[in-house]
Structure formats: C-alpha cells, structure tokens
Structure 1
Amino acid sequence: MKSLYFLQKSYYNGIIRRVKTMKADEVIIFSDMDGTLLTDWSMGPRVPQNNLDAIKKFVAAGGMFSIASGRQFGETLRYFESIELSAPTVQGNGAVIYDSVRGLVHNKIILPEPVKLECLDYRNRTKGLWLAAADEFNIYQIESDDRAWDASINDLRRKLISVEEYMALDLVKTCFVIADETKLSSIAADIQKFETVDMFRVTQSSPVFLEILEKSVGKASGVAQAVKLAGAEGRTLVCIGDYDNDIDMLSLADIAACPSNSSPRVLEMADIVTCSNNEGAIADLIRLLNLEES
C-alpha cells in the first residue's frame, strides 16, 4: 500500500517536500536492528541514545514501535530494557513472532529436515565457508572436521554444536558464512541447484551471509502477522531497514525508510533516506515524519 503519503527522497539534509502531517497514535514502526537501529559492530554494537530517547517519546505519544530482525528475541530484548515494545517482534527474518509483553511465541516456522541435511552436505564439500543455524533462542555454529577452521571465524561468536545436535534441533534457519565475499554469488548460484530448492528461500543479510529459510518465511509476512496481532491494521505502517533481506518488508510498508548506509537496492526503493545507523537513524526517521512531539 504505497502512496498514502508521498515522500520526496532526502538524504540527511532534512528536506522532505511533501509530508502529510501524521500523529504518533496513527503510526506503527518496525525497524531492522543490525545496520539500522544499532551502530556498527566496531562501535558496540549499541542503540544510539538519540534513538532510545526518540522511541520513548514516540511511544509515550501513542505510537507503536517494534522490531523485525534476523536476531533471536533474547538478543533483541536486551537492548530495550527501558522500553516496552508495543507490538510483537519479528525474529529470525520472519520465522518467529514473539510477544515480549506476554513472553509468548505466537508463531515459529521450522526449516525442513531435508534442507538442513543438504546445507550440511554442501558445507562439508565446499571450502571457504562456515555453517551456522538458529532456533528461536540461540544461534549456533556447526562443527566440522577441521577444528582450526571452526575457530577461525571472525564474526559473531556462536555456540559450537555437533552435527547430531544440529539435526536434533527445531531450527528456523541456517546461514552460510562466507570467508571471501567475492565468492558469494557463486555460492548463491550453487544453493539454487539444491534438490530441496522448492522447500526454502534464500536471503542475503550481509555481504557474507546467505540465510536459508522455509519457503513461506520473510520479514513482510512476519510484520503483517505482528501488525494483526497488535490490532494495528488501521495505522500507517512505517518500516526501516538497510539490507536486501529487508526489501520485502519495505515493499509492504506504507512508508519505506532506510539509513544512508544501506545497500544500493534498498537506497533505490526507499521513500525516506535518513542519516546513518551510527548517527541515529530511528531518531532521524521520527523527526522527518514530524512525530517527535505529536
């Protein structure tokens, strides 16, 4: 539902030529985390204080704010100890819908076992990548026969689990972590040749992450469920994200926003381009929508 409001694209000069005035209690915002709400890893990551301050004011004025992220809910909620998220969160890039107020998982879509097996087989016969996986609680790294290689991963630390544990868990996604980002395209092409390709979808969530999700899963479907559960169907839906795994969510939104550090495809489609994630993209979005004091 585009074009409820026409917004002139604007980089961080604050110029938006035509914005229909909205009130906070008419709006629901869903934000991605890494690269959007949070600073870069070199700076924490953390939530910039101006983001926290702006979210608190927006919610106090009747606005609804929540998260749509590839992270698990525990890794999301630790950043919001002082803020009650007023709509269910979308976790695992849409595989899990979690109500943080009630402590309830509303929905969880599990990756089929044949897909898990084929991901494992591909990892075993392909050099230069690691296999990670997640359920609603944690993210894991699956052991290989090369312990030195397992230990060489220079990304987010993950709990190391055996192949047997990997197969026993009800996982919502796997993720190929690629050592050389120039190899991502060829690996993505290989994945499209999997025998189980009709059972899953692939989303790129960073220059070196290719995530495998059950075929119906996506941030857009997750956000749509969360909006309905929150009883917020009548509100203007604003979504903000920075990478290609956010594109379906941004397409769903009435107003699509992204920080200035976003991928080229996201920058091209966004209605609003805010300041960078490190400068406080959510605070800037709320300001640009004139929702600071509404």
Structure 2
Amino acid sequence: MGKFDGVLLASDFDNTLLNTETARRTGAEVPEVSRRNWEALEYFMAGGGRFAIATGRALAAFIKFADQVPMNAPGIVCNGAALYDFQKGEYLETILLDESTRRRGQETLDRFPTLAVEAYHIDNVIHAVRPNLYTRQHEHVTHVSVVEKPSLLDVPLPLGKIMFEEDHAVLEEVKAFLQSQPWAGEYEIFFSDRTLLEVTARGATKGGMVARLAERLGISRQHVYCAGDEANDLSMLTWAAEGFAPANCVPAVRACGATIVADADHDTLADIVSRLDKMYA
C-alpha cells in the first residue's frame, strides 16, 4: 500500500497550480506547470494519492491545458457545474442552468450597458454577448475564442455557467442586483476574479462536486484536501479536512481559515504535497 492511499487532493488551476494572472494582464504566454509542482504531484500519485483539478474554467477553456497537468482522478470544471473524466473523455455529472437563465441574464445586460457576458455551452463552445477588454484577456489565457451572439437569448442550451465581465465596482453593483431578485436563490453567484462574476445553478459549487468526487472514489472527507486562491474556491476549502491557499490568495480566502502556503510563483502544490508527506509519514 502507498502512503497516500485513500487521500484526495483537489486544486484550483489559475493562480494556484500556476500563475496565469500575469499573462492575462500583460498578454504574455501562459506558463507551464513548474517542474517542482509536476514532480510533487507525480510523487503523490505514485504513493496512491488521487489528484484532481477543480477549476472555474469550463471544459472548453481547460481542455487544451489538460495534458500539461498530471492527474489521476476526474476533474471538477465550470466551478462545480460538472465532473469530467479526462481518461474516458466524458462527463460523469452535470448541474446545469435552466432555460430562464438566458432571459434573466439578458435583462441584467440591458440594465448595465458596459457589461459583457460569456455563456458556457456544455459541448465545449463559449459564446459571448458584448465582449469587452476582460473578455479578450480571458480568451488569451484560455486559448479559446468566443463565438459572439447579439443576445443571450440567441445562445443555445444547455449551459453550465454564465460569467459577467467588467470593472470590479460595476460587478459589485451587478452582484447586488442579482441577489436582490426573487429568483436569486436558484443560483450560486460569486467572484472568480475581481473582473469576473460567475453564475451557476444552485448546488453547482466546487465544494459540492469535490464531495461527490470523493464519494465516487470511496475517500472519506477526513482525507480530502483542497487548494485555491479565490472566492469561488471557498466552498471546497471549507469543506475539506484542510484547505490550503497560496499566499497570493484574496482576503476572503485568507479569512476562511485556510492554511497559507507558497504563492503560485513558488510551487504551491509542491509545498502542499510536502506537508501531506509529513502528515502521512
């Protein structure tokens, strides 16, 4: 038996496993997973551990990077709206937005004239209405071009999530507007970046899908560890036996009680595996 048998480690991708923020802001190339992170994850998996990616990205925005990440468990994509088996190339579970989301999202766009939105079709197509600077930055880091539509009503179903893009101050107003609606309880509404406000169906969270993955793998909650840097990671960081956060994390993550480790420029996952290595000695 390996020392990490029965242990699950799930990690966010952007600005946790690797730093993509610099590439988004400057137009530089997205870096590869560092050698130390890669070797640490290989060591963890060789010892029987299961490693899963848990990203806010939809499958279309992550699939081009999948072969650059050593992993041996299905991955959480679309901020918990889906669980995807990369070996079999198929979705295992999905929690999708209902038809009314397009109308409600379009009403939000009409209320905020500078707002852009990306809509994530489950079949690997990303549509956008009124793409702006932040949409273009996001295209750069995901290596996926959006398909422009005149209205959210023209975007085909089914959708895993929609994501509003604008300056943070505007998105705070958008969030307040969404949360004031009588249907707000049907959704999860959270930031994945200061310029990205995400909407998924109620129950579609990283924490919820990590729990489902652990159950599928037969791994108890007391041996599940998660890593992330943003507000969309809070659900899994607080559900796990221990949550880890890179030093570059946002204040809300730091305040949730996560264990702070090396930042995304200094091998976050290698630091975490080193700590697990001592825990399971």
* TM norm. shorter chain > 0.5: yes
Higher relative contact order (CA 8 A, sep 6+): 1
Q: Which residue pairs with 1:115 in the alignment?
A: 101
Are 2:103 and 2:152, in contact at CA under 8 Å, matched by a contact in 1? no
Q: Which residue pairs with 1:38 in the alignment?
A: 18
Partners of 1:164 and 1:234 lie apart in 2 by 39
Are 1:58 and 1:291, in contact at CA under 8 Å, matched by a contact in 2? no
Are 1:87 and 1:229, in contact at CA under 8 Å, matched by a contact in 2? no
Q: Deviations over 1:228-285 (max 9, x none)?
A: 2222237610101001111111111001110000011211223421111111100111
**How far is 1:129 from its partner?**
1.5
Q: Which residue pairs with 1:71 in the alignment?
A: 57
Q: In the TM superposition, what are the counterparts of 1:97-176 in structure 2 within 5 Å? A: 97-138=83-124, 140-144=126-130, 150=132, 153-157=135-139, 158-162=145-149, 163=151, 166-176=154-164
Q: Which residue pairs with 1:257 in the alignment?
A: 244
Are 1:205 and 1:244, in contact at CA under 8 Å, matched by a contact in 2? yes
Which residue of 256, 265, 272 corresponds with 1:269?
256
Deviates more, 1:54-63 or 1:80-89: 80-89
Q: Which has the larger radius of gyration?
A: 1
Are 1:58 and 2:44 an aligned pair? yes
**How far is 1:182 from its partner?**
2.3
Report the residue type matching 1:87 in the other structure.
Answer: A
Partners of 1:202 and 1:99 lie apart in 2 by 26
- Shift in alpha-carbon separation, 1:166–1:240, aligned structure 2, 3 A: farther
Q: Deviations over 1:121-171 (max 9, x none)?
A: 211231221011113343624234xxxx65784421241232377432210
Are 1:111 and 1:172, in contact at CA under 8 Å, matched by a contact in 2? yes
Report the residue type matching 1:174 in the other structure.
Answer: I
- Shift in alpha-carbon separation, 1:183–1:93, aligned structure 2, 3 A: same
Q: Deviations over 1:20-49 (max 9, x none)?
A: xx9322421000111111213425143222
Q: In the TM superposition, what are the counterparts of 1:161-240 in structure 2 within 5 Å? A: 161-162=148-149, 163=151, 166-178=154-166, 180-233=167-220, 236-240=223-227
Are 2:19 and 2:265, in contact at CA under 8 Å, matched by a contact in 1? yes
Are 2:246 and 2:260, in contact at CA under 8 Å, matched by a contact in 1? yes
Tell me the secondary structure at the aligned position of residue 126 of structure 2. strand
Partners of 1:39 and 1:151 lie apart in 2 by 20
Tell me the secondary structure at the aligned position of residue 52 of structure 1. helix
Q: State the Cα RMSD in Å.
A: 2.5
How many residue pairs match? The answer is 268
Listed as ranges, the gaps of 5+ residues in structure 1 are 1-21
Are 1:39 and 1:46, in contact at CA under 8 Å, matched by a contact in 2? no
Listed as ranges, the gaps of 5+ residues in structure 2 are 24-29, 140-144
Tell me the secondary structure at the aligned position of residue 50 of structure 1. helix
TM-score, L = length of structure 2:
0.86
Partners of 1:108 and 1:216 lie apart in 2 by 11
Report the residue type matching 2:5 in the other structure.
Answer: D
TM-score, L = length of structure 1:
0.82
Deviates more, 1:208-217 or 1:183-192: 183-192
Partners of 1:80 and 1:160 lie apart in 2 by 22
Tell me the secondary structure at the aligned position of residue 98 of structure 1. strand
Report the residue type matching 2:158 in the other structure.
Answer: D
Q: Percent identity?
A: 25
- Shift in alpha-carbon separation, 1:234–1:243, aligned structure 2, 3 A: closer
Tell me the secondary structure at the aligned position of residue 278 of structure 1. coil
